[in-house]
Amino acid sequence: MSTLLSIHNLSVSLPKGADRPYAISNVSLELNNNEILCIVGESGSGKSMMSSAIMGLLPERVKATSGEILFEGEDLLTYNDAQMRKIRGARIGMIFQEPMTALNPLRTIADQIAEMYWTHTKLKKADINKKVLELLNDVQIPNPEAAAKAYPHELSGGQRQRAMIAMALALEPTVLIADEPTTALDVTTQAHILKLIRDLQQRKGTAVLFITHDFGVVAEIATHVAVIQKGELVEQGSVNDVLNHPTHPYTQRLIAAVPPLSPSDARLISQNSILNVNHVTKTYRSGGLFKRNRRITHAVNDVSFTVPQGGTIGIVGESGSGKSTLARCIIKLLNIDEGQIEFDNVNIADLKGKTLRQYSRNIQMVFQDPYASLNPRKKVGEQVAIGPQLYGMTKQSAMEKAKVLFKLVGLDSEAVHRYPHEFSGGQRQRIGLARALALEPKILVADEPVSALDVSVQEQVLQLLAELREKLGLTLIFITHDLRVAAQICDSIIVMKNGNIVEQGLASQVFTKPQHEYTKSLLDAVPGKNWNPPRLIDMSPAIHI
């Protein structure tokens, strides 16, 4: 086994005014051929900054101030832009975390993948076109021919991520850096991408530097693990040593926060239903002005279920299964085509005007992206207070209520005077919760509320939701593609596929004795499903954010 990439005593400085002087402080790592080294840590720990330093893509005013990054014996920190351009893509590939910002919105997917071959090879156009389609097929993009001609905005998030992975794998680089490449993907897509990367590593001896906060992924794919906290390397070793016998308290806390893939103990729940969804259908039509050219998509197809008062019902499934569309129908962001949605025995499907407004305060939503759902130009307290003001509360009283809500969700009451960008992702999600609770709803609809959060922050938000459920008597509709999360918070589970419910029942039944083949395939695809996180410490004193 030979070393392909060596990082020696690397320090990367941050601009003045940052919360710490260094993004990376005196870190040393080695990456060998035929090895997958996973770098884990919370947001802001310096994981992505390390990959940017390797690729020569550090932001302005951020500089590598000491150390070496040796690739095949050459220090990349001494390379100029022209030299780095010859390395990027051809010798060191990179899969970025956010494909929409990394892909050019004005060029087709085929053009962007083909550029790798135009830049670094002498292949003919026909051969390049063939390779592009082969790559798109390898990453299992549906209808590769159509995807090749599409622009980034015409693909789903998962499809864009697969296209970027295809681009990174095009020249089968010696070193592949993957920065959170599967965070936003469904478990089945995630499982395939992980297998794709592992196959490349085994077939070509590729060295993979895999950056993630998902310990299930680490258990599934890693050979070695490095743990970074606030820019410092606190622990490294084999995957077995780090995951099953962690020695540093930080690593122990992170692993203790990973939810196990087993349902929590059943709770006593009211037999009274608060929401009844009966034969609801939502259909989209697209593709042309004339009827014969239109494509019909049954986003939600004849769906029925009951939500008990005070319970938590989880809706799981892949992207495109209809989960989020169903949620938007329940909160009346979308009108249904057929069926009934009864809240407290009132059919809300046809409500309008004042009666709709009165209904709306009873069911509130926490959105997936806490930053995009907050107005960056308004103080967060004002955004929490706006709901009560619309229902007649004075501005002063509404702001006082916002302060109380901030305390309820674990934030300083004086934080109401700050702007969204001044908070971490976990804190912004808490603000989203406070805003949803401002109208004292009876039902809270949470659409992937923890999918983008670190395990420690995720654990806190889940604990907070459970506490609010008990304290306020909330009913939760929890939408997620993370089955570990669903197992911990949900009393019952609905499994959706292509707009249909294929299975529903108590969480204990669905997770331990799944009936439908699709449910079994979802559970089989969970990364690290055979790894049981060791509970080495008491998690009651949570990691603060």
pLDDT confidence tier of residue 6, bands split at 50, 70 and 90: very high
Mean pLDDT on 289-307: 78
CATH 3.40.50.300 fits 273-525, yes or no: yes
Contact 286, 295 (CB under 8 A): yes
For residue 306, what is the enclosing H or E element?
strand 295-308
Residue keyed to tokens 């046809």: 350
Return the pLDDT at 292: 55
476: exposed, middle or buried (Cβ count in 10 Å: 0-12, 13-18, 19+) = buried
Per residue in 438-494, pLDDT tens? 998 999 999 888 876 778 878 888 888 888 888 888 999 999 888 999 998 999 999
C-alpha span between 235 and 225 (Å, rounded): 8
Per residue in 128-179, pLDDT tens? 999 999 999 888 788 899 999 999 888 876 788 888 888 988 888 899 999 8
pLDDT confidence tier of residue 435, bands split at 50, 70 and 90: very high
Architecture in CATH for domain 3-7+14-257: 3-Layer(aba) Sandwich (3.40)
Q: Is pLDDT of 19 > 80?
A: no
* Residue 228 three-state SS: strand
For residue 483, what is the enclosing H or E element?
helix 483-489
C-alpha distances in angstroms, 303 versus 284, 315, 519? 16, 12, 17
Using a pLDDT cut of 90, give the percent of the chain over it.
Answer: 52
Return the pLDDT at 275: 94
Per residue in 240-278, pLDDT tens? 999 999 999 999 999 998 988 888 877 888 889 999 999
* Residue 470 three-state SS: helix
Return the pLDDT at 544: 35
C-alpha distances in angstroms, 164 versus 97, 144, 174, 381, 541? 10, 14, 17, 38, 40
CA atoms within 13 A on the CB side of 319: 14
Contact 425, 452 (CB under 8 A): yes
∠ CA 405-410-416, nearest 5°, is: 55
Pairing type for strands 443-447 and 3-13 reads unpaired
Mean pLDDT on 186-214: 85
Phi and psi torsions of 26, nearest 5°:
55, 50
Return the pLDDT at 337: 93
Using a pLDDT cut of 70, give the percent of the chain over it.
Answer: 95
Q: Is pLDDT of 541 > 50?
A: no
C-alpha span between 371 and 386 (Å, rounded): 17
pLDDT confidence tier of residue 427, bands split at 50, 70 and 90: confident
Q: Is pLDDT of 42 > 70?
A: yes
**Which contacts qualify for 505-512: CB closer than 8 Å, 24 or more apart?**
506/266, 507/263, 507/264, 507/266, 507/314, 508/263, 508/266, 511/261, 511/262, 511/263, 511/483, 511/487, 512/262, 512/263
pLDDT confidence tier of residue 536, bands split at 50, 70 and 90: low
**Which contacts qualify for 112-121: CB closer than 8 Å, 24 or more apart?**
112/163, 112/167, 113/148, 113/163, 113/166, 113/167, 113/170, 116/89, 116/90, 116/167, 116/170, 116/171, 117/170, 117/171, 119/89, 119/90, 120/89, 120/90, 120/171, 121/171
Return the pLDDT at 545: 33
C-alpha distances in angstroms, 448 versus 7, 15, 126? 36, 34, 42
Q: What is the 3-state secondary structure (H, E, C) of 414-469?
A: HHHHCCHHHCCHHHHHHHHHHHHHCCCCCEEEEECCCCCCCHHHHHHHHHHHHHHH
Q: Is pLDDT of 291 > 70?
A: no
Mean pLDDT on 485-504: 94
Return the pLDDT at 509: 93
Q: Mean pLDDT, the chain, as a whole number?
A: 88
Q: Is pLDDT of 539 > 50?
A: no
- pTM for the whole structure: 0.82
Query: Same fold for the domain at 3-7+14-257 and the one at 273-525?
Result: yes
Per residue in 325-384, pLDDT tens? 999 999 988 999 999 999 988 898 888 888 888 888 899 998 877 777 889 999 999 999
Closest to 484 (Cα-Cα) out of 461, 511, 464: 511
Return the pLDDT at 106: 93
C-alpha span between 278 and 446 (Å, rounded): 21
C-alpha span between 196 and 200 (Å, rounded): 6
For residue 227, the cross-strand partners are 40, 235
Per residue in 84-116, pLDDT tens? 988 988 899 998 877 777 889 999 999 999 999
Question: Which of 300-314, 415-429, 531-545 shows the lowest per-residue confidence on average (mean pLDDT)?
Answer: 531-545
C-alpha distances in angstroms, 332 versus 183, 371, 448? 29, 22, 18
C-alpha distances in angstroms, 479 versus 85, 254, 396, 444, 446? 42, 24, 34, 11, 6
Question: Which of 196-200, 225-229, 298-302 shows the lowest per-residue confidence on average (mean pLDDT)?
Answer: 196-200
Pairing type for strands 36-40 and 207-211 reads parallel
Return the pLDDT at 293: 54
For residue 161, what is the enclosing H or E element?
helix 157-169
C-alpha span between 461 and 62 (Å, rounded): 32
Q: Which residues contact 23 (CB under 8 A, 6 or more apart)?
A: 12, 13, 14, 46, 49, 62, 231
Which sequence spans correspond to the domains of the chain? Answer: 3-7+14-257, 273-525
